[in-house]
């Protein structure tokens, strides 16, 4: 694939990129991660969460198995000598220190080594799939917007060589990427969904939780919520027309004189307004109501229908 003919790409640095190795790496991660890792092929990736004991969202990440070698398209890699006991744990926004501390606090007698190599790696993301990348690097399906995305991770020392393959393609800005994420309703962890929130409040139970894999930290809370009913709050997409992006986040939202939630992330819509994600009380929210940034203020924020 000639990357220079692609429509656009996004160069990024991960907030977390950890290498987890050892004879017990697979079973250890399986017992901590919210999503199913058994059966994931070498080079395959799974998106999921790291929860607290009370089921709150501490961090999110992709877990990529044994991408220690190989040339191929997205999600493929040759099986290397350590691929069966090597995993990469990477996150767009959740800090490496948080994930590493969370993991290391549960390593007791396990043969597991956790290395923080975040500072030594970088990434390129592009819409769509396919494309051959050099041996020894990591490619997996991303989670950036409404359509498919591909992530290519590589040692930072190779950045100049990698970027040369994209000569002639347009580089997307962080604002453009935020707009795609928010328009698709994808939360940023921990900004939109964090240690005070349950996965279901950000609709993450749809993509990040396995209810059949067995025990992991927070699993009992997830099972109870699934059997007993719905959450009382939900992350919803909101829109504000004719004014700048809120300057300080989170920004409280009011229905008349009642606080009903807060905007947690926002980005310009490119037309004089903004899009955002807001955590809102389902009990207090009235269908079709517009919200304000102060009690009894100007109602200028529209709440979009839940998807």
* Cα–Cα distance measured from residue 301 to residue 243, given in angstroms and rounded to the nearest whole number: 10
Is a pLDDT exceeding 90 seen at residue 129?
no
Q: Which two tokens stand for residue 10?
A: 């996004």
pLDDT bucket at 294, cuts 50 / 70 / 90: very high
Q: Which residues pair with 113 in a beta bridge?
A: 21
* Cα–Cα distance measured from residue 174 to residue 172, given in angstroms and rounded to the nearest whole number: 7
pLDDT digits (tens, 9 = 90+) for 45-88: 999 999 999 999 999 999 998 754 332 333 333 333 344 589 99
Is a pLDDT exceeding 90 seen at residue 184?
yes
* Cα–Cα distance measured from residue 75 to residue 242, given in angstroms and rounded to the nearest whole number: 42
The CATH T-level fold of domain 3-172 is Gyrase A; domain 2 (3.30.1360)
Question: What's the Cα-to-Cα distance from 174 to each of 13, 28, 117, 179, 209, rounded to whole Å?
Answer: 11, 34, 23, 9, 28
* Cα–Cα distance measured from residue 252 to residue 140, given in angstroms and rounded to the nearest whole number: 37
Q: Between these two residues, 136 and 231, which has the higher pLDDT value?
A: 231
DSSP character at residue 30: H
Domain 232-307: what homologous superfamily?
Aminomethyltransferase beta-barrel domains (2.40.30.110)
Q: Which two tokens stand for residue 262?
A: 């807060």
Count of positions (residues) in the chain: 307
Burial class (CB in 10 A: 0-12, 13-18, 19+), 141: middle
pLDDT digits (tens, 9 = 90+) for 236-287: 999 998 778 888 999 999 999 999 999 999 999 988 899 999 999 988 888 8
- Between 53-57, 151-155, 157-161, 286-290, the lowest mean confidence (pLDDT) is in 286-290
**Are the folds of 3-172 and 232-307 the same?**
no
Residue ranges of the domains in the chain?
3-172, 232-307
Q: Please state the pTM of the whole predicted model.
A: 0.89
Q: Which two tokens stand for residue 184?
A: 């698709």
Q: What is the pLDDT of residue 228?
A: 79
């Amino acid at each position: 694939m000639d990357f220079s003919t692609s429509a656009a790409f996004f160069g990024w640095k991960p907030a977390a990129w950890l290498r987890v190795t050892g004879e017990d790496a697979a079973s250890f991660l399986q017992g901590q991660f919210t999503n199913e890792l058994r059966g994931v092929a070498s080079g395959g990736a799974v998106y999921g969460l790291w929860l607290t004991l009370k089921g709150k969202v501490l961090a999110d990440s992709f877990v990529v198995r044994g991408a220690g070698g190989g040339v191929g398209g997205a999600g493929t890699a040759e099986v290397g000598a350590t691929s069966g006991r090597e995993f990469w744990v990477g996150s767009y926004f959740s800090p490496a220190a948080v994930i590493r501390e969370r993991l290391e606090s549960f390593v007791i007698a396990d043969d597991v080594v956790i290395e923080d190599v975040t500072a030594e790696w970088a990434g390129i993301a592009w819409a769509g799939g396919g494309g051959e990348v050099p041996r020894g690097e990591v490619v997996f399906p991303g989670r950036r917007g409404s359509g498919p995305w591909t992530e290519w991770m590589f040692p930072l020392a190779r950045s100049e060589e990698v970027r040369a393959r994209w000569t002639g393609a347009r580089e997307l800005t962080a604002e453009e990427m935020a707009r795609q994420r928010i328009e698709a309703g994808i939360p940023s962890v921990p900004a939109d969904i964090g240690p005070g929130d349950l996965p279901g409040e950000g609709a993450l139970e749809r993509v990040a939780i396995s209810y059949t894999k067995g025990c992991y930290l927070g699993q009992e809370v997830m099972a109870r919520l699934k059997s007993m009913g719905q959450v009382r709050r939900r992350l919803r997409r909101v829109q504000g027309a004719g004014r700048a992006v809120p300057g300080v986040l989170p920004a409280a939202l009011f229905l008349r004189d009642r606080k009903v939630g807060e905007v947690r992330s926002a980005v310009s819509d490119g037309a004089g307004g903004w899009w955002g994600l807001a955590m809102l009380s389902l009990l207090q929210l009235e269908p079709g109501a517009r919200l304000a940034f102060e009690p009894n203020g100007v109602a200028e924020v529209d709440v979009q229908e839940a998807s």
